[in-house]
Structure 1
């Protein structure tokens, strides 16, 4: 405790409330010279100046941070106003498009012009490579010129008729597809008296899938290998972004396929979705894989579903390009087939012939092909063919097993790929073509047999 003279310290003590000066802390007395002296006793504590300084610094930092956040809000508000304005304009444009009878835009015509130009170049290349002049080429060239004129006219005065030109365009594309095949490919439907596949044509790239999405790289497209009368031209497509199929789209003919106009869509119900991609169409029924070892069947006439379990099929083995392809269905001149690998076969492909009426396995054959090393496999004239990659643009048929004789052969039949990976490859006996789903594109090949 200490004492101070009041008259000396009165300025410094002015901040102390007088009511806090207890009677025991202040005393008065008379000094030697007769002056009045007050004695004040203060607690012996030090004022926490360091803590006050720390709090002041924190307060400054918080003020700076608040200013930064306020500036951000101002910036965000300005951006939001721009975005709202753009959104308003976009909404107005969409509304105008929806209310307009003109459903097509300039891009449609530009795409048609580009493709017609490609067809023109293709006809010229075919004519030069084959070194022939025929009425067929002249007719195609004339049709291309006429189509170009029609496109220009329609864009000028009547864009609503673009659907009509698309139909004509699809017909022209089909003619070009047929013309593009090597003239040595002469189909002999139903004849399996030869010694097997000799070669494949160059790939015919039809178009991108129904969804117009490059991410739909898993799936397939096919024709009925044993069509009912009136459904000879039917096409089926199913695709997704993963090795699954949730929908099947049915098209009555090639033109409707090109126009992406399905006459029937199957939405697979809960518990019936397809796993893997290698489905097959036969007898107006779609055969596909459910889970890992269940064969499923949809009758597209009666909408009836059925399934069978292939207990020995192992989910550990799939093709190189796609996972989950445990059961691979195929239809050819000799019937309906399913291919898979088992634990007992140590991953080698087993070929099984199916009884179409009983929907069960009738007979099985073992192969020497490890499924995981094969790109895919298909059946043609009772012969199983396996493929593998040669490089980014080339695939080859490297193995065959004839189920009629049990003969195995090692082959080297190369063919071009449009793009590196594909998830579907299936042969159709009605037109002797291979159907490939190549990274989201419909691709086909004409098959030449050794007679």
Structure 2
């Protein structure tokens, strides 16, 4: 680029050549190269030509020339600074471009993680629906409004279809909306279940492992007579030579090990078949056939009574031993004792006890050997007996005290830790509490119910 700068007469011409790496400076005749500047690579930044000195006088015009030369040098420096700044800005842009590429990668990863989390959440909902599904064939047998049952079936069918296809359309449905629909349906089902009276055991599912603690043998329980908001847990480790009962205010405290109180019983217990019922602990006094009622509120024994002829101290235990001769339990009908006597040839005897005095109200003799029973529990006045305490155990025998009849059944259940030393039904929660080889677990039960209607007397 050539710039001509004019000055007043006498004529003095200054020619500036800037940024001209490929140009050769050719001054006119009578002119000479006065000054030039180059960059580090030898490129021409500017060149100044002026008339020979003898063509102009050495007067004030010389000072003007020097001033112009200084301006040219300043322009040259400014151009160099601009070049450096341009290179720096270019590097900054390149850095920002790399950062933008990294952000795009992170966004893609976040989107993939979101889909994975959504898929897991929807699978949990699908599993919840699968747990609710078995309730439908039971509800169909109830004496209730068939229109309500059809509505339940339609809602479950619709929700199941949505949840099944959700993997193909992640994001097309709102997870929170689906969750609230499932919770609403479950609440309505449980409201319906709350109207049910007693039923027959149809299925055992689970278990859910609540905690791992203690020795291989022990007992843990809640009180079926209290409200769900009062869900204290009692814990009695081992089957003999102990008086210590630990109390936890809630299931959450039990899991975390936050003990609220410790009780020291006046007598040691035998076995693991204790029960808490309406604020009192019922247990078998060690080396005796005596049943003890102990009040948690007062810390005193309120009653004790011997079960007539009942075997004790491993005379008629369950298959695993452990002084499990006398099994105390509770259901919707009240308090029960299950044991065996010589008079009944070592077979199971069932006694319905008065909770205050422990007096037997009624007694039934069965034909099932106590020593061949793995465990047993009462539901709605019917005794259910397992054939083993080990892997492969199932509910094999039931005795209905209302009709004094028995039947052989086949209800399998999962024994994940291979040795059950306590199995007891909780009527409030409609669940089985178990001590499974040092693991405290809960089984869910499915009952065939009959709903009381206004037409029933």
Which interval holds the TM-score relative to the shorter structure?
0.5 to 0.7
Q: Which residue of 1 aligns with 2:245?
A: 248
Aligned to 1:148: none
CA deviation after TM superposition for structure 1 residue 189, in Å: 4.4
Is the Cα–Cα contact under 8 Å of residues 189 and 432 in structure 1 kept in the other structure? no
How much does 1:246 deviate?
2.5
Given the superposition, is the C-alpha separation of residues 190 and 301 from structure 1 closer, same or farther in structure 2, using an over 3 Å criterion?
farther
**2:412 is matched with which residue?**
414
3-state DSSP of counterpart to 1:389: coil
Q: Distance in 2 between matches of 1:317 and 1:218?
A: 18
Which residue of 194, 197, 200 corresponds with 2:201?
Answer: 197
Contact 2:210–2:440 under 8 Å retained in 1: yes
Report the Cα distance in structure 2 between the residues aligned to 1:244 and 1:400, rounded to whole angstroms.
32
CA distance in 1, matches of 2:269, 2:299: 16
Partner of 1:384: 383
| C-alpha distance in structure 1 between counterparts of 2:299 and 2:340, whole Å | 30
Q: Cα RMSD between the aligned structures?
A: 3.4
Alpha-carbon contact 2:209-2:441 (below 8 Å) kept: yes
Q: Which residue of 2 aligns with 1:371?
A: 370
Residue 138 of structure 1, CA deviation? 5.1
| Structure 1 residue 324 displacement after superposition | 0.4
Paired residue total: 285
- Which of 307, 314, 329 pairs up with 2:304? 307
Query: How far off is 1:362 after superposition?
Result: 1.4
Aligned in 2, Cα 1:397/1:293: closer, same or farther, shift over 3 Å? same
CA–CA distance in structure 1, aligned partners of residues 194 and 299 of structure 2: 30
Going from structure 1 to structure 2, the CA distance change for 1:411 and 1:249 (only over 3 Å counts) comes to: same
Partner of 2:319: 320
Aligned pair in 2 of structure 1 residues 264, 189: CA closer, same or farther (>3 Å)? farther
CA distance in 2, matches of 1:288, 1:302: 17
Are the aligned partners of 1:400 and 1:410 in contact in 2 as well (CA < 8 Å)?
yes
Matched-pair contact (CA < 8 Å) for 1:200–1:445: yes
In the TM superposition, residue 255 of structure 1 has moved relative to its aligned partner by 1.1
- Per the alignment, in what secondary structure is the counterpart of residue 201 of structure 1? strand
CA distance in 2, matches of 1:343, 1:137: 66
Per-residue displacement from partner, 1:364-417 (whole Å, max 9, x unpaired)? 00112111111111111011110123962x321111111111121110000111
* Secondary structure of residue in 1 paired with 2:126: helix
The answer on whether the counterparts of 1:331 and 1:427 sit within 8 Å (CA) in structure 2 is yes
* Moved beyond 3 Å, runs of 4+: 120-139, 183-187, 189-194, 229-232, 242-245
Residue 257 of structure 1 is aligned with which of 243, 254, 269? 254
**Kept after mapping to 2: 8 A contact 1:189/1:430:** no
Match status 1:404 vs 2:405: no
Q: Which runs of 5+ in 2 are unaligned?
A: 1-118, 131-159, 167-172, 450-457
* Counterpart residue number, 1:294: 290
Give TM-score scaled by structure 1 length: 0.57
* Partner-residue secondary structure (3-state), 1:450: strand
In structure 2, the partner of 1:273 is: 268
Q: Distance in 2 between matches of 1:186 and 1:245?
A: 41
CA drift of 1:262 comes to 2.0
Q: Is the 8 A contact 1:190 1:429 kept in 2?
A: no
Deviations 1:335-354 (A, max 9, x none): 00011000111111100000
Contact 1:351 1:366 in 2 (8 A): yes
Q: Secondary structure at the residue paired with 1:275?
A: coil
